[in-house]
């Protein structure tokens, strides 16, 4: 996988130093949108990690005196129908989105990598079987498969992670398989074979590292769609159960009633979802430009 040599590009662009901070600022200027995406992602991760300090109230504590309060100095983003503080719930909701996003992307990608490597490297009947399973999983839209799986497994955080991870497997497996097939024919693999390296070792030490760039690009792209899928599942009432403050859950059907009476309940959780996904998409795009120059647009 060809990676742009930024050091030489920097020198050509007239940079004196190609190290550390300067390199970072150069990259940020060159990929401004990606840098903005990265900032959004960092803020989002910080909110999740520091939720206990940023939130001003307990996200689950019910306050019947202040139900459906509009945004004010006490409640920055207002309160919901149970009097729970919306800002605190959104901050804590970042944890759920992050857990589901990272959890299901990692789980789905690791299985996808194993399946793709095995499929491309072993070929034969293993490949044939994996290909058919991939076909089957790809014939169902992500949301439909995830919906049926959460309905089957029951609504809980680990089950939602599994339900979203499984539909991701085929896409990752396909990309890794195609890469493995191409790599297998290259001279350096032949060289490794001729010095007597075992097949497993070649697959793990030589093939896998060379598929990392497209894998990272794909995983970043999937992070956004896993966050969106979790939000959709929870919105439909089949994702993260009450009382956990999932962003999708906060927008759940009852939100349609509040469109008239309490618009802040509809606006803010949606802004949180869109912003988090937008950040990962911006960053993913820039990462693709950097790591996969063939797709540069």
Partner 1 sequence: MFAYIVRRLALMIVTLFGISIIIFVLLRVVPGNIVDILFDAAGFVDPTDKANLEKELGLDQPIVVQYLKWIGGLLHGDLGYSYVSEKPALQEILPRLPITAKLAALALLFSASIGIPLGVISAVRQGTRLDYALRVVSLSGLSLPSFWLGLLILMASVAMFGTMPIFNPNPKTWTEAFAIYAVPAMAVGFRSAALTMRITRSSMLEILRQDYIRTARAKGASERSVNYHHALKNAVLPVITVIGIEAAFLIGGLIVTETVFNIPGIARFLVEALRWRDYPIVQNLVMLIALVVVLANFTVDMLYAAIDPRIRYTD
Minimum distance, C-beta of residue 26 to partner 1, in the bound complex (Å): 18
Q: Does 198 bind partner 1 (CB under 8 A)?
A: no
Q: How far is the CB of 231 from partner 1 (least distance, A)?
A: 5
- 43 lies in the binding site for partner 1 (CB under 8 A): no
Which of these segments, 80-88, 115-123, 192-200, 267-275, binds partner 1 (CB under 8 A)? 267-275
Q: Which two tokens stand for residue 215?
A: 């894998």
Stretch that binds partner 1, among 73-81, 89-97, 210-218, 278-286 (CB under 8 A): 278-286
Find the binder of partner 1 among 96, 161, 215, 255 (CB under 8 A): 255
Nearer to partner 1, 111 or 143 (CB): 143
d(CA 91, CA 45): 10
Among 68, 81, 156, 237, binds partner 1 (CB under 8 A): 237
Q: Which stretch binds partner 1 (CB under 8 A): 3-11, 62-70, 79-87, 135-143?
A: 135-143
Question: For residue 106, what are its two tokens?
Answer: 């990692």
Cis status, amide bond into 243, omega within 30 of 0 = yes
Q: Which of 49, 182, 204, 256 binds partner 1 (CB under 8 A)?
A: 256
**C-beta of 32 vs 204, nearer to partner 1:** 32
| Residue 68 binds partner 1 (CB under 8 A) | no
158 near partner 1, judged by CB under 8 A: no
Does 270 contact partner 1 by CB under 8 A?
yes
Among 130, 160, 131, 133, which Cα is nearest to 148's?
Answer: 160
Q: Does 259 bind partner 1 (CB under 8 A)?
A: yes
DSSP of 224-253: HHHHHHHHHHHHTTSSSPTTS--HHHHTST
**Between residues 143 and 157, which has the closer beta carbon with respect to partner 1?**
143
Binding test (CB under 8 A) with partner 1, winner from 13, 139, 191, 204: 139
Q: What is the dihedral of CA 247, 251, 253, 258, to 10 degrees?
A: 150
Select the span of 21-29, 71-79, 90-98, 254-262 touching partner 1 (CB under 8 A): 254-262
Choose, by CB under 8 A, the member of 29, 152, 194, 195 that binds partner 1: 152
Binding residues for partner 1, how many (CB under 8 A)?
Answer: 47
Site residues for partner 1 per CB under 8 A? 33, 132-133, 135-136, 139-144, 147-149, 151-154, 224, 228, 231-232, 235-238, 248, 251, 253, 255-256, 259-260, 263, 266-267, 270, 273-275, 277-278, 281-282, 285, 295, 297
């Amino acid at each position: 996988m060809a990676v742009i040599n930024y050091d030489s590009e920097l020198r050509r662009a007239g940079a004196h130093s190609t190290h550390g901070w300067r390199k970072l600022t150069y990259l940020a200027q060159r990929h401004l949108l990606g840098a903005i995406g990265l900032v959004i992602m960092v803020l989002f991760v910080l909110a999740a990690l520091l939720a206990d300090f940023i939130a001003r109230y307990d996200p689950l504590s019910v306050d019947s005196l202040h139900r459906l309060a509009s945004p004010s100095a006490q409640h920055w983003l207002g309160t919901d129908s149970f009097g729970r503080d919306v800002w605190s719930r959104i901050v804590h909701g970042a944890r759920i989105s992050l857990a589901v996003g990272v959890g299901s992307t990692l789980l789905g990608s690791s299985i996808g990598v194993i399946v793709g490597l095995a499929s491309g490297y072993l070929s034969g009947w293993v490949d044939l079987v994996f290909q058919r399973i991939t076909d089957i999983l790809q014939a169902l839209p992500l949301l439909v498969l995830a919906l049926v799986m959460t309905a089957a497994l029951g609504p809980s955080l680990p089950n939602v992670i599994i339900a979203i991870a499984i539909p991701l497997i085929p896409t990752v497996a396909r990309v890794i398989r195609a890469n493995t097939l191409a790599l297998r024919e290259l001279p350096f693999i032949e060289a490794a074979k001729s010095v007597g390296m075992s097949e497993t070792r070649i697959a793990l030490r030589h093939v896998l590292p060379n598929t990392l760039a497209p894998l990272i690009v794909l995983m970043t792209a999937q992070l956004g769609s896993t966050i969106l899928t979790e939000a959709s599942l929870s919105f439909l009432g089949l994702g993260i159960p009450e009382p956990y403050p999932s962003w999708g859950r906060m927008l759940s059907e009852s939100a349609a009633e509040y469109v008239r009476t309490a618009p802040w309940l509809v606006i803010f959780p949606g802004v949180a979802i869109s912003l988090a996904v937008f950040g990962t998409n911006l960053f993913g795009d820039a990462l693709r430009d950097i790591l996969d120059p063939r797709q540069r647009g």
